[in-house]
Amino acid sequence: MNSMMQLNTKRVLASLEQIELAIDDVCQQLKVEGTAAYFITLAISELASNMIRHGKQDNEQKDDLNVEAFASDDSLKIILEDSCKPLSNTVIRQLVERDGTIAQYDTSIPNIPESGWGLDLIHNAASSVSYCRTDERNVYELAFKIEAKPAGNDDIHDLYNSFMNDFPEQKSL
């Protein structure tokens, strides 16, 4: 895999824009466009946001979020690292064992769960998600399949239809 980008940034929410722009640039270099690029960027942004929000109390170092992208002909691997405390076993299970289907929830308005949506988003976008603790650092790896797609075939209606399949009770609205 070829290294496409390396970014060392502050662990503050304001850094998300810089991360998103860097991932968007990688997608453009790989000619990944439309909803595919959007969901890759969104998944990375969601994971980085979780790392910043949930790890900020654990670490005095603010310049501690590293993002690196690697690509091959058919895949993109994004690695995010920080030096916060290790994740608990419960959080690790939620991160790496999630089935990525929102359909497991009762999505009627009064029953929508308050948390967990970000993990589903990450798992729906990525082909694999992993976590390990190496050299006192948290290392998250997300892999995405890159599929060649002829120009003009990206249809926002496909995204809408996919969303509506996950929320069938909303079709009647």
Q: Model confidence over 74-119: pLDDT tens digits? A: 999 999 999 888 888 888 887 777 655 555 555 555 655 556 678 8
Structure tokens at 102: 């929102």
pLDDT reported for residue 173: 43
CATH number of 2-170: 3.30.565.10
SS (H, E, C) the chain: CEEEEEEEECCCHHHHHHHHHHHHHHHHHCCCCHHHHHHHHHHHHHHHHHHHHHHHHHCCCCCCEEEEEEECCCEEEEEEEECCCCCCHHHHHHHHCCCCCHHHCCCCHHHCCCCCHHHHHHHHHCCEEEEEEECCEEEEEEEEECCCCCCCCCCHHHHHHHHHHHCHHHCCC
> What is the amino acid identity at position 99?
D
In 3D space, the residue among 6, 36, 35 whose CA is nearest the CA of residue 19 turns out to be 6
Q: Residue 78 forms beta bridges with which residues?
A: 69, 142
CA 22 to chain centre: 14
Q: Determine the pLDDT at residue 90.
A: 83
Q: List the chain pLDDT tens, one digit each, 173 residues.
A: 899 999 999 888 999 999 999 999 999 999 999 999 999 999 999 999 989 888 765 555 656 899 999 999 899 999 999 988 888 888 888 777 765 555 555 555 565 555 667 888 888 899 999 999 999 899 999 999 997 554 444 554 455 555 556 555 544 44
